[in-house]
Structure 1
Amino acid sequence: MDPDSTATVGRVPHGGEEAVELDFSANTNPEMPSGVRDIYNSALEAARSYPPEPPTAFCEAASDYIGCDADSIVPTPGGLAAIRLAIEVTVEPDDSVLVPAPSFGEYAREVTLQGATPTIVDQQNIVERDPTPHAMAIICHPNNPTGHAYSAGQLKAFARRCRAAETTLLVDEAFLDFTDRPSLAGVDGVIVARSLTKMFGLPGIRAGFAAGDNQTIAKMAATRRPWNLGAPALSVGTYCLKQSSFIERTRTRVREERERLTEALSETFDVSPSEAPFLLLDVGEGNVDSVLTATRERGIAVRDARTFRGLNSHIRIAVRLPAENDRLLTVLRDV
């Protein structure tokens, strides 16, 4: 990390509000797998000792989950920690990194913290860019906050060009769990970052991992702090990654509810096509504040998407449970 850069980089705003009845501003699953509480409670005794190093059971569960070798897994306390570690071992001061926009604001921040320059590119077109002048290219798939997903052909072609240019491709797959699209884990020259936050509704557990099979993943494994996941995170994470029925039920619910919300909201707003558990709404220039106020007065929080680069008239809403989504529709119809 570049010490001089730390003085000039501020915090990035995120969704998630506690002082409301229904929070549509954060993209975490409102449900979690049954049995998680018991697993968490049983991990208390294990927490009286240092967790296993390396955490083999967690790495094996993660590798089975995304279809790669267990030796390719680097456990991290959340997906963002995987992103930071990948950037730290790849990017040097004065490097350039391709960063998508509008997208997750932490990418540009992490690049800047290394003393490097984020080269901002439209998120839909980033896979068409020449990676040659850049140390790394970052993709969010599906993208946050737009929900846009790339075709397998686009991603693989871009990965090949990155590999030929000796440019590391970092793919944030935080929301890929909600689709039936395969992970890019195992593709040469690619590092993927994954999290248990979104699918399993457990942001406070802070469990995730990176996966890859090239020189970068070896550097990440060598520099990862020992015991960087506590016993509860490892136990709950290992358990959740095996809950295939829960994952399929969640995917079906999110897909059906997302389609229903899109159809209803398109009568009033411009709704971006999405393959993620959220929708981006253009509510009109100058109307964002009134929408935020109206929803909050009714006990609902939605995400002010103006915090994302280039979005001046948008909000983002999570896809929650059917009855909760009905309540949001009622409120938004009255805005």
Structure 2
Amino acid sequence: MGRRRRTLVDPESIRTAERVPHGGEPDQDVLDFSANTNPRTPEGVDDVYAAALEESRRYPDDDYSEFRAAAAEFVGCEPTQVIPTPGGLAAIRLAMELTLEPGDEALVPYPSFGEYAREVRLQGATPRFVRYDDLPDLGPTTLEACALAVICTPNNPTGDAIGPDTLAAFAAECADAGTTLLVDEAFLGFTDRASAAEFGRENVVVARSLTKLFGLPGLRAGFAVATGERRDALATARRAWSLGTPAARVGAHCLRRDEFVRETRERVARERERMADALGTEFDVHPSDAPYLLCDVGDRDVATVIADARADGVAIRDATTFRGLDSHVRVAVKDRNATDRLLAALDV
């Protein structure tokens, strides 16, 4: 670990920080393709939540043994390596709090999730932006100058996942350079790829989100995975009662629904292919391993494309808010009926 770490955001940085735009449609009457969440949830969630709500008259068991066991089995690590957090973003912040100090630099991919740069800045550190697909090719000189490197796989918003051998090699290079590697696997559960948690490297921290795969983004459940002294530091710095009882109980239940996960992966792959074929007749569609597609609308006005879809009751994501993109939208992959409505709204 080396240096003594702070466990709070940098007070000076808060004064200049800004919020980051995200997808998500509050109007219940609009079909939301702007947020990449599963339209379905596993069976039994309602009953588990109701029972957990009754248990919420007491504080949660801060050990979260059931949740950690389910999470460990899901990603292929030991339960002791799991640090429960209220969502994947909380795992990202926790890892950055323990890694970055004012004046540090962090390698941040683009175009990618905008919260990475914001969280880096909140620690008083400086993001060094690198094309997401160029990150694994960086040499030791660049890595040694940075305290942290962030990888998002599958990358948001492009949707492509990094190969496991490439990621393992990059993790080793980061270790040699003394650089912490933070791997955001928020959407990896939609694929059958193995988690970087299996690497067992002390310089690697994995951030996972449950709520996208299981269709419960408002529940706020996730976890980090780490080993050795870094795991100990994360576990100590974690806020007490970091998951509410409903989130912990429902999260553990969902993580054990193997058939639901398998069916979700099959449906997403099938619908994504159908969507890509149809959208490709009008737009340039980026290849994707994720539950979303990035579309270049070309000479069309992005705001007009979004407004026209919304007029037909469909919300899509303005992807020009991602660094490096100026003519793009992003659409989630849902089910067949929803896809038909999206394609009709986009006149495809």
TM-score by length of 2: 0.94
Name the SS of the counterpart of 2:12 in structure 1.
helix
Alignment check: 8 A CA contact 1:124 1:148 kept:
no
Specify which of 137, 141, 162 is matched with residue 128 of structure 1. Answer: 137
Contact 2:75 2:198 in 1 (8 A): no
2:5 aligned residue: none
Measured against aligned partners, the alpha-carbon deviations of 1:72-109 in whole angstroms (never above 9, x if no partner) come to: 00000000000000000011110010000000000000
Aligned to 2:51: 42
- 1:292–1:302 CA contact under 8 A, matched in 2: yes
Shift of 1:226: 1.1
Q: 1:181 aligns with which of 189, 193, 196?
A: 193
Q: What is the rounded CA distance, in whole Å, between the counterparts of 1:233 and 1:127 in structure 2?
A: 35
Map Cα deviations across residues 6-33 of structure 1 (whole Å, 9 max, x no partner): 0101000110112242000000100000
Residue 153 (str. 1) matches residue 165 (str. 2): yes
- Is the 1:285–1:312 Cα contact (8 Å) retained in structure 2? no
- Indicate if the aligned counterparts of 1:186 and 1:212 stay in contact, CA closer than 8 A: no
Counterpart-to-counterpart distance in 2, 1:250 and 1:135? 37
8 Å CA contact 2:13, 2:121 repeated in 1: yes
- Of residues 325, 332, 346, the one that matches 1:311 is 325
CA distance in 2: counterparts of 1:214 and 1:27, whole angstroms: 33
Which runs of no fewer than 5 residues in structure 2 stay unpaired?
A: 1-8
Partner of 1:172: 184
Q: Show the counterpart of 1:200.
A: 214
Q: Distance in 2 between matches of 1:201 and 1:45?
A: 22
2:233 corresponding residue in structure 1: 219
Matched residue SS, 2:276: helix
Superposition CA RMSD, Å: 0.9
After TM superposition, list the pairs within 5 Å mapping 1:56-135 onto structure 2.
56-130=65-139, 131-135=143-147
Aligned length: 334
Q: TM-score, normalised by structure 1?
A: 0.98
Whether 1:2 and 2:2 are equivalent positions in the alignment is no
1:328 is aligned to: 342
Q: CA shift at 1:212, angstroms?
A: 1.5
**2:247 paired residue number:** 233
Distance in 1, Cα, partners of 2:64 & 2:227:
18
1:263 maps onto 2:277 in alignment: yes
Q: What secondary structure sits across from 1:94 in the alignment?
A: coil
Give the unaligned 5+ runs of structure 1.
Answer: none
Query: How far apart in 2 are the matches of 1:91 and 1:328?
Result: 42
Aligned residues: percent identity? 54
